[in-house]
Amino acid sequence: MAGRHPNGPKPAQITAGRIGLYAFLVVAALFFLLPLYTMVVTSLKSMDEIRLGQIFALPARLDLSAWTTAWSGACMGTVCVGIRSGFWNSVAITLPAVALSVFTGAVNGYALSLWRPRGANLLFGLLMAGGLIPYQIFLYPMVRAMANIDLYNSLAGIILVHVIFGLPLVTLLFRNYFVSVPEELCKAARVDGAGFWRIFFEIMLPIAVPMVVVVSMLQFTGIWNDFLLGLVFAGRDNLPMTVQLNNIVNTTMGERTYNVNMAATILTAIVPLAIYFLSGRWFVRGIAAGAVKG
Amino acid sequence: MPIKRKPNLSATIALLPTWFVAVVVFIGTMAWSIRLSFTNSTLFPSSTYVGFAQYSKLFSSAKWLASLQNVLIFGVLYVAGCLLLGFLLAAALDRKIRFESAFRTIFLYPYAMSFVVTGLIWQWMLNPTLGIQASVRSLGWESFVLDWVVNRDMAIYALVLAGVWQGAGLVMVIALAGMRGIEGEQWKAARIDGIPVWRIYVSIVLPQLGPALAAAGMLLAMGVIKTYDIVVAMTNGGPGNATEVPAKFIMDNLFGRQNLGLATAGATVLVLGVIIAVAPFRYAMHMRDRAKGAA
């Protein structure tokens, strides 16, 4: 016995209500877990086993070949190189796009909330309106404009597009964060002769580290999971993983290789899932910050 | 009283790229698209003005009308489903539950995944020949039917199911955060009055969560208008037009059918839809702020 805890929470009594509550939670948990379970077991089965139509059965024999095929041999149309290239494309798109958009968002939020130059409110209003409007209305002119400056179908182009479309959200989050920073801090630094950039890099950015983490995670999952912009702007050589995944699953000729499809699906989901599992608390904070104030 | 400041040059310069994005990219491209919607542009933009011809063509297209109806059904059920399930999950987790963080993790993880992944998972589960239907039938229930993705009447509900699975956790997180912010005193008072727990949630907790739930609902609703990936991954609009959505209609005409005029007309209608949906909300907030300022 480790001793009594008279101040601990009162143990809940077992009542019909409590049992019902747990039953609800367990059933809900099964509903949420079932697809993940199904994906994993399907990816470990052979096609012969899949044809038996026992979607929930555990694999009779672990077959990892679907995973290697998904990674390096699955076909998209006539090209059979697996989802590997898409993975590296997604990395090459996401990392710079996140870094750039977080930096721009931080500068914007700082300038808009602590300096409020002429037209700051108008700019913020325009950005927020831009964030609400469906992408479809921007797409065609943007494709043309990007083509004119030789950025269409390029890595730099898709990165730029992500930074542009991320601006409303990242600016909103940083602005809301910096609004709560005492103005005196900024004023005192100005009296000491620090300018706009010095205050930003030496005072405000360090203060905003928690928000930088949150926004980076939001942007990372958002950009990694993007489909539409990658499809339109990335070009054949830079297609992100989500687009390649859809190509693998939905355009294969002949019999569908469900085990390969499911392995490829898990591979595509694994990076955002890892972020979520490794830093759940930050992820939740990011969602709450992005949602409640949006 | 607001302090008059000298406009700071560095701050102005730092915001120039953002000004460029707001004015040139957001407003400029939108104006360009709207202009195209009044021309007879097909593969290439044309400057021949045709008035509202593209719009009348749009609204006489069965596919477009079906897509509007579909997005309405999907949107209402998806937002309502996420709000309801998310609130119930939050309320359950709020009852001093064991393994709370494990449950929370399980309910939210789908939200981390893309709509493409979500669509593909559920396409697989609902596949009538190899999915849940086949499994249940092999257990002996021969007449069991769960063929939603290939059934014209049910395909849209398959999308709702997948969407709610993906999005309910978001509402749960927001609602749970809100519930934790409600003061214990209110709970004590209500318990002393002998009010049953469910009643406290409905009459005391729910109203206080109003703004947070409204924000979550708004966020989900904004996603509805953009609904594209999940449809492409799960049903590709089929069977027939059963799961066509406006965003997909626009994309198909923009890049597949080379029907620029029609596509931009569709996009313009979507933008109008957003404005009509958001305007009353913004107006209410504006009036509330003004009322607060006056008080």
* Complete DSSP assignment for B265-295: HHHHHHHHHHHHHHHHHHHHHHHHHHHHHH-
Which residues from A are below 8 Å from B95, CB to CB?
A: 12, 21
Q: How confident is the model at residue A2, as a pLDDT? A: 46
Which residues from A are below 8 Å from B27, CB to CB?
A: 126, 130
Q: How confident is the model at residue B294, as a pLDDT? A: 62
Q: Which helix (H) or strand (E) holds A76?
A: strand A75-76
Confidence label for B186 from pLDDT (cuts 50, 70 and 90): confident
- pLDDT surpasses 70 at B257: yes
Cβ distance B174 to A284 less than 8 Å, yes or no, reads no
Confidence label for A280 from pLDDT (cuts 50, 70 and 90): confident
Cβ distance A140 to B36 less than 8 Å, yes or no, reads yes
Q: What's the gap in Å between the CA of B257 and the closest CA on chain A? A: 13
The least confident of B57-66, B102-111, B196-205 is B196-205
Q: What is the mean pLDDT of residues B8-13?
A: 88
Confidence label for A6 from pLDDT (cuts 50, 70 and 90): low
The pair of structure tokens assigned to A91 is 């990395």
Cβ distance B103 to A104 less than 8 Å, yes or no, reads no
Whether the ω angle into residue B239 lies within 30 degrees of 0, i.e. cis, is yes
Angle at A62 between CA A58 and CA A65, to 5 degrees: 125
Of chain B residues 192-221, which have a CB less than 8 A from chain A? 197, 212, 215-216, 218-219
Q: Which residue of A has its CA nearest to B6?
A: A117
CB atoms within 10 A of CB A51: 14
| Residue of B63, B38, B64 whose CA lies nearest to B52 | B38
Q: How confident is the model at residue A279, as a pLDDT? A: 85
Q: Are A162 and A226 in contact (CB under 8 A)?
A: yes
The least confident of B140-144, B268-272, B288-292 is B288-292
Q: B19-54: per-residue pLDDT in tens?
A: 999 999 999 999 999 999 999 888 888 888 888 999
Q: Which residue of A has its CA nearest to B43?
A: A140
* Four-residue CA torsion sign, B282, B285, B291, B295: negative
Task: Give me the residue from A107, A133, A288 closest to B30, CB to CB.
Answer: A133
Q: Which residue did the predictor score with more confidence, B280 or A177?
A: A177
CA pair distance B273, A177, nearest whole angstrom? 31
Judged by a CB distance cut-off of 8 A, whether residue A269 touches chain B is yes
Which residues from B are below 8 Å from A226, CB to CB?
A: 114
Rounded to two decimals, the pTM is 0.91
Percent above pLDDT 70 for chain A: 93
Cβ distance A284 to B270 less than 8 Å, yes or no, reads no
Which residues from A are below 8 Å from B122, CB to CB?
A: 35
The ipTM (two decimal places) reads: 0.90
Task: Give me the residue from A24, A36, A117 closest to B11, CB to CB.
Answer: A117
Judged by a CB distance cut-off of 8 A, whether residue B267 touches chain A is yes
Cβ distance B10 to A12 less than 8 Å, yes or no, reads no
- pLDDT surpasses 80 at B199: yes
| Single-letter amino acid code for the residue at A253 | M
Judged by a CB distance cut-off of 8 A, whether residue B258 touches chain A is no
- pLDDT surpasses 50 at A294: no
Of chain B residues 166-195, which have a CB less than 8 A from chain A? 169-170, 173-174, 177
Of chain A residues 187-246, which have a CB less than 8 A from chain B? 195-197, 221, 224-228, 232, 242, 245-246
Judged by a CB distance cut-off of 8 A, whether residue A32 touches chain B is yes
Q: What is the mean pLDDT of residues A163-189?
A: 91
The pair of structure tokens assigned to B265 is 């007309």
Q: How confident is the model at residue A10, as a pLDDT? A: 55
Percent above pLDDT 90 for chain A: 62
Of chain B residues 63-102, which have a CB less than 8 A from chain A? 85, 88-89, 92-93, 95-97, 101
Q: Are A111 and B18 in contact (CB under 8 A)?
A: no
Which residues from B are below 8 Å from A33, CB to CB?
A: 106
Task: Give me the residue from A136, A167, A245 closest to B18, CB to CB.
Answer: A167
Mutation pick from B18, B33, B188, B235 vs chain A, by most beta carbons of A within 10 Å, is B18
Task: Give me the residue from A12, A245, A291 closest to B219, CB to CB.
Answer: A291
Percent above pLDDT 70 for chain B: 97
Start-to-end CA distance of chain A, whole Å, equals 50
Per-chain mean pLDDT for chain B? 89
The pair of structure tokens assigned to B55 is 């719009």
Per-chain mean pLDDT for chain A? 89
Confidence label for A252 from pLDDT (cuts 50, 70 and 90): low
Q: Which residue of A has its CA nearest to B226?
A: A134
- pLDDT surpasses 60 at A274: yes
Alpha helices in chain B (DSSP H): 9-14, 16-20, 29-36, 53-59, 62-93, 100-108, 115-125, 132-138, 155-180, 184-192, 197-200, 206-225, 229-234, 246-251, 260-294
| Residue of A183, A189, A169 whose CA lies nearest to A108 | A169
Q: B115-159: per-residue pLDDT in tens?
A: 999 999 999 899 888 888 888 888 888 778 888 888 888 999 999
Confidence label for A61 from pLDDT (cuts 50, 70 and 90): confident
Q: What is the mean pLDDT of residues A132-149?
A: 93
Q: What is the mean pLDDT of residues A151-168?
A: 96
- pLDDT surpasses 70 at A3: no
Q: How confident is the model at residue B133, as a pLDDT? A: 84
Q: How confident is the model at residue B9, as a pLDDT? A: 86
Cβ distance B29 to A141 less than 8 Å, yes or no, reads yes
Q: What is the mean pLDDT of residues A228-253?
A: 90
- pLDDT surpasses 50 at A281: yes
Q: Which residue did the predictor score with more confidence, B199 or A223?
A: A223
Cβ distance B274 to A12 less than 8 Å, yes or no, reads no
CA pair distance A255, A159, nearest whole angstrom? 36
CA pair distance A61, A124, nearest whole angstrom? 58
Q: How confident is the model at residue A237, as a pLDDT? A: 92
Mutation pick from B9, B54, B124 vs chain A, by most beta carbons of A within 10 Å, is B124
Confidence label for B289 from pLDDT (cuts 50, 70 and 90): confident
Q: Are A245 and A76 in contact (CB under 8 A)?
A: no
Judged by a CB distance cut-off of 8 A, whether residue B4 touches chain A is no
Q: How confident is the model at residue B230, as a pLDDT? A: 95
b/e map B116-138, b = 16+ CB within 10 Å: bbbbbbbbbbbbbebbbbbbbbe
Q: Is B108 helix (H, G, I), strand (E, B) or coil?
A: helix
CB atoms within 10 A of CB B102: 12
Chain position carrying tokens 């900024």 = A186
Start-to-end CA distance of chain B, whole Å, equals 17
Q: Which residue did the predictor score with more confidence, A143 or A253?
A: A143
The least confident of B2-16, B69-83, B142-156 is B2-16
CA pair distance A235, A17, nearest whole angstrom? 56
Q: Tell me the β-bridge partners of A79.
A: A76
Q: Which residue of B has its CA nearest to A110?
A: B11
Q: Are B219 and B170 in contact (CB under 8 A)?
A: yes
Mutation pick from B42, B44, B120, B250 vs chain A, by most beta carbons of A within 10 Å, is B120
